[in-house]
Amino acid sequence: MTATTAKPIGTTKVFTIRSVLWRSFTLLSSRTGIFLALAFLSLLPGAVFRAYGFNRKGLAFALISLFTGLLVQGSGVCAAFRIMTGDATVSFREAVSKSITRLLPLLGTVFLALLGVALSLFLSCAACAAFFAVFDVTLGLDAFATVLKPLSAVFLATPGLILLCIWSLFVPCCVVERLGPVQSLSRSAQLTKGYRVQIFAIAFLYILLSQIAVSLAVGLATAFFPLPANPFLLSSVFLLVHLLPQAYAPIVFATTYYDLRTVKEGVSPEHLETSFD
């Protein structure tokens, strides 16, 4: 591992939402360049497809976005984790190289996670269909069933959201601990146990704050300058307003992973550092 030039970011005895979000922001501000560069790489396919008018709903865009998204998430987690354990010299190239070596396991883990979420959605749909069949046919409560049907969307989404919280740390588990797909999901489930409500709140707040930041940026921009009709300039505006939220995401994952390991396992920053060699 490269020589460290800074003290580790420190450990925490209690896992809190405020600590994760604030320390992630502090980390972003300490090495803004590397995380903005990674965010740029992640957003580039969307900007290119938008600029040239390519189909952004097709398979090609989905695959390119998946590869670049995983590459950037792994790189961002790698860079953030190295900085938190005291290595202030980590570079863009080093983080990306580390992520590339874990790209295939990351793809396998995503496939298994999507399969699990899809299965949960299928079972939820089957349960909803059976439930409303009882109301409509057996009990004849058509009006009551009509009232309940809008709530079925919440029921359908709940199992998938729970699984996403359980498996939310698969990227740092796969990249930092160099685990395979099944082991990464299992390790994430182990680390998140007992803290999944907080993790859901962190994800909710991240999405909310990101949307507010993007909306404010677009609002301020359009207040002084009309949105350009040129698709290349419009794509550039899209890319710029999403840079900071995109750069922040992998840091939040890395900080959550770092804090849960120190809280649940009592692992020191020095031991965390050696686990990444």
Pick from 76, 93, 86, 91: nearest CA to 243: 76
pLDDT at 57: 77
Asked if residue 277 belongs to a domain, the reply is: no
pLDDT at 227: 63
> What is the tens place of the pLDDT at every residue in 239-271?
888 888 999 999 999 999 999 999 988 766 556
Asked if residue 36 belongs to a domain, the reply is: yes
pLDDT at 72: 93
pLDDT at 270: 55
Pick from 170, 174, 155: nearest CA to 114: 170
| Domain of residue 187, residue span | 17-104+169-272
Pick from 53, 174, 166, 64: nearest CA to 120: 166
Secondary structure (H, E, C), 172-216: HHHHHCCCCHHHHHHHHHHHHCCCHHHHHHHHHHHHHHHHHHHHH
> What is the tens place of the pLDDT at every residue in 147-183?
566 666 677 778 889 999 999 999 999 999 999 999 9
pLDDT at 4: 45
Asked if residue 185 belongs to a domain, the reply is: yes
58 token code pair: 């097709």
pLDDT at 3: 42
In degrees and rounded to multiples of 5, residue 141 shows phi and psi of: -95, 65
Total number of domains in the chain: 1
Task: List, run by run, the mean pLDDT of 10-residue segments along the chain (277 residues).
Answer: 47 82 92 92 85 76 89 94 85 92 95 92 79 59 57 75 94 94 96 94 93 83 67 74 90 94 76 57
Asked if residue 92 belongs to a domain, the reply is: yes
Asked if residue 3 belongs to a domain, the reply is: no
